[in-house]
């Protein structure tokens, strides 16, 4: 079993319930965190707590992540590129059409299955279906992502994502011309009331913040750079739909395109602090061929 010790509590966390806070940071179901608390796997200053315990700011929190009873993902290779790897993290360039981890569709091949096939150890957080997964990009979105190889590093990376200190940049192609060449969208996102597989801008949704800037105008489309300040599901796609200009080829929020068979979205930059050394790390991924042809073809 792996242990995580937290001896510094950020002021913003004070007053929050420990089960909700850890669930939000680690993106683990709240009832799973509550089961950890009930089982004594999460303690405060070596004392057992209730799930309703609220952070005071002077605690030392101990989290034990028990190993999964069964690894449910079969190692199977996929066409991924390992951009960087050390004893703590692995950075992967993901092609379009590949999921990060198995989901409701029970995909056999994923980034996780490919890493397991190659003998890469991943953290237990999120296991058995999502070991090592700190963040995700959509199946048909390409680009660079990071996974954690141990639980302590997983937590530290997840905290950077939670605190929005990780710099994530995307290149997208919109299906029409945007009204403004740049802007900052702060529109909350939640589950679509009629289509449960989609998301939309809703007043009671989770805060979502996207910055965008048109970097090239094509005959019928715009090439846009996006910066994410939050990481809601389908965030860029939903915000472009809200602006009335969905991503090219996005069949959930727009329509099919003769120019590309997927949503034209690519995660081209990921910048973060190494969770152990504190060194700033920046990784880039070049534009995939299907998007590159549209951009240069104009």
Active site residues: 138
Output the CA torsion sign for 208, 214, 218, 223: negative
Q: 79, 91 in Cβ contact below 8 A?
A: no
Q: 167, 146 in Cβ contact below 8 A?
A: no
Residue 44 tokens read as 């405060």
Q: Cis peptide leading into 128, omega within 30 of 0?
A: yes
Nearest residue to 94 (alpha-carbon basis) of 51, 62, 137, 64: 137
Residue 102 tokens read as 């198995």
Q: What angle do CA 123, 87, 99 make, to 5 degrees?
A: 45
Report the run of H or E that residue 99 belongs to, with start and end. Answer: none
Q: 234, 216 in Cβ contact below 8 A?
A: no
Residues 6+ apart with CB under 8 A from 86: none
Considering only CA atoms, give the Rg of the chain. 20
Query: In the block, which residue shows the tokens 């909350």?
Result: 188
| Distance (Å, whole) CA 286 – CA 223 | 15
| Distance (Å, whole) CA 10 – CA 48 | 21
Phi/psi for 182 (5° steps) reads -155, 160
């Amino acid at each position: 079993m792996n242990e995580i010790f937290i001896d510094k509590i950020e002021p913003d966390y004070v007053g929050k319930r420990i089960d909700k806070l850890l669930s939000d940071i680690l993106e683990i179901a709240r009832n799973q965190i509550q089961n950890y608390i009930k089982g004594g796997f999460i303690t405060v200053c070596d004392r057992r707590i209730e799930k309703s315990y609220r952070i005071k700011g002077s605690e030392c929190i101990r989290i034990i992540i028990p190993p999964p009873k069964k690894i449910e993902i079969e190692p199977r290779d996929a066409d991924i590129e390992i951009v960087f790897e050390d004893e703590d993290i692995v950075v992967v360039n993901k092609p379009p059409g590949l999921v990060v981890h198995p989901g409701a569709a029970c995909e056999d091949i994923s980034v996780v299955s490919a890493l397991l096939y190659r003998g890469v150890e991943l953290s237990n957080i999120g296991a058995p279906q999502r070991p090592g997964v700190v963040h995700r990009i959509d199946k048909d979105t390409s680009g660079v992502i990071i996974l954690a190889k141990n639980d302590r590093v997983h937590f530290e990376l997840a905290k950077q994502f939670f605190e929005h200190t990780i710099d994530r940049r995307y290149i997208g192609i919109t299906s029409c011309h945007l009204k403004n060449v740049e802007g900052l969208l702060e529109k909350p996102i939640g589950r679509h009331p009629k289509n449960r597989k989609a998301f939309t801008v809703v007043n009671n949704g989770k805060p979502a913040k996207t910055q965008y800037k048109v970097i090239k105008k094509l005959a019928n489309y715009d090439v846009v750079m996006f910066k994410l300040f939050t990481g809601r599901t389908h965030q860029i796609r939903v915000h472009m739909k809200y602006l009335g200009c969905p991503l090219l080829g996005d069949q959930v929020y727009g329509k099919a395109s003769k120019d590309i068979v997927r949503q034209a979205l690519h995660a081209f930059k990921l910048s973060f602090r190494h969770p152990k050394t504190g060194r700033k790390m920046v990784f880039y991924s070049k534009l995939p061929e299907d998007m590159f042809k549209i951009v240069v073809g104009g």
